[in-house]
């Protein structure tokens, strides 16, 4: 009886070692795949972060350019003559930015014009050029909009002197201000559109990588293999080993022997079925994602 028990335990241990090696290799492969996918996810996220920042800078540049195209000599004059924002946009046929986007800057132009008038009213001197004017008055509400101040300065000067000396100088500066064409504008617009496409592609790639990672996070053959190992250990090692302490004559009957053999054959069959199913799955993969 002890010889049979020892043989069953030894045979089961060998089978457990084989299937255990298979599971270990599978776990290592899954861990390697997961690390590779996680690394790819980090790379995509970093790329997305950089491209989104670049796109924000491009959009900011384009917004400032579109805004600058609105604050022209003619539009400033329309604003100072009391036109509403809707009327200014309609007369200028301006369609780069929406009325909602332009509203705060429309008010800002009015504030800047009032500010220049107040500064002029505080002195009896006349200034021919804004470059001279700003040397004496250096404190402005919108210091980052000095080019707008200069345009407004010239519009006010022109409106105040149809034929003679104006409040800001004696030279007629009524000629419309032409905004230099920025050669970078079209290139930046193309770059923004390209970045938009790139970001969309990266977002799709990121979604796909997360889906693959989720699939690798649920390795069904590993957990089922572990259950098979547990069963084999229980019926082929743990239970038979409990019979070893007894004497030869105890449990030395045909029924016990066949019961032990039945347990051994059951775990052997289960191991073969598991390996066969796993190998079939590996050699006949289906689309999982």
Instruction: Please name the residues in contact with 174: beta carbons below 8 A apart, sequence gap of 6 or more.
Output: 158
Smallest CA-to-CA distance from 151 within 208, 105, 98 is with 105
Of 217 and 250, the one with more pLDDT: 217
pLDDT in tens, 106-140: 999 999 999 888 888 777 777 778 888 888 888 88
Sign of the Cα torsion 223, 225, 231, 234 reads: negative
Instruction: Please name the residues in contact with 125: beta carbons below 8 A apart, sequence gap of 6 or more.
Output: 136
- Dihedral angle at the C-alpha atoms of 65, 67, 69, 74, nearest 10 degrees? -160
Site of tokens 């996918």 = 37
58 near 187, Cβ under 8 Å?
Answer: no
Of 252 and 166, the one with more pLDDT: 252
236 near 12, Cβ under 8 Å?
Answer: yes
Smallest CA-to-CA distance from 153 within 124, 132, 178, 181 is with 132
- % pLDDT > 70, the chain: 84
Residue 272: band (very low, low, confident or very high) from pLDDT cuts 50, 70, 90: confident
Of 237 and 243, the one with more pLDDT: 237
Instruction: Please name the residues in contact with 108: beta carbons below 8 A apart, sequence gap of 6 or more.
Output: 142, 145
């Amino acid at each position: 009886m002890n010889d049979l028990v020892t043989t069953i335990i030894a045979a089961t241990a060998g089978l457990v070692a084989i299937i255990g090696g298979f599971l270990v290799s599978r776990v290592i492969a899954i861990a390697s795949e997961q690390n590779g996918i996680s690394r790819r996810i980090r790379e995509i996220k970093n790329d997305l972060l950089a491209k989104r920042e670049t796109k924000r800078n491009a959009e900011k540049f384009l917004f400032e350019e579109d805004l600058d195209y609105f604050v022209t000599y003619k539009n400033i004059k329309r604003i100072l003559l009391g036109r509403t924002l809707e009327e200014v946009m309609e007369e200028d046929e301006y369609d780069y930015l929406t009325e909602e986007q332009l509203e705060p800057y429309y008010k800002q132009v009015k504030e800047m014009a009032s500010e220049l008038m107040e500064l002029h009213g505080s002195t009896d001197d006349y200034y021919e050029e804004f470059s001279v004017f700003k040397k004496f008055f250096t404190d402005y509400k919108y210091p980052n909009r000095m080019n707008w101040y200069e345009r407004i300065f010239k519009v006010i000067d022109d409106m105040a002197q149809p034929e003679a000396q104006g409040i800001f100088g004696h030279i007629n500066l009524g000629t419309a201000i032409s905004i230099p064409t920025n050669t970078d504008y079209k290139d930046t617009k193309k770059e923004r559109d390209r970045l938009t496409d790139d970001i969309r592609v990266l977002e799709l790639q990121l979604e796909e990588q997360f889906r693959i990672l989720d699939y690798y996070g649920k390795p069904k053959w590993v957990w089922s293999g572990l259950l098979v190992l547990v069963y084999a250990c229980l019926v082929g090692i743990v239970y038979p080993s409990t019979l070893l302490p007894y004497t030869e004559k105890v449990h030395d009957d045909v029924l016990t022997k066949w019961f032990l053999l039945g347990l051994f054959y059951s775990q052997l069959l289960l191991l073969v079925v598991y390996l066969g199913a796993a190998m079939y799955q590996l050699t006949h993969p289906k689309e999982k994602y």
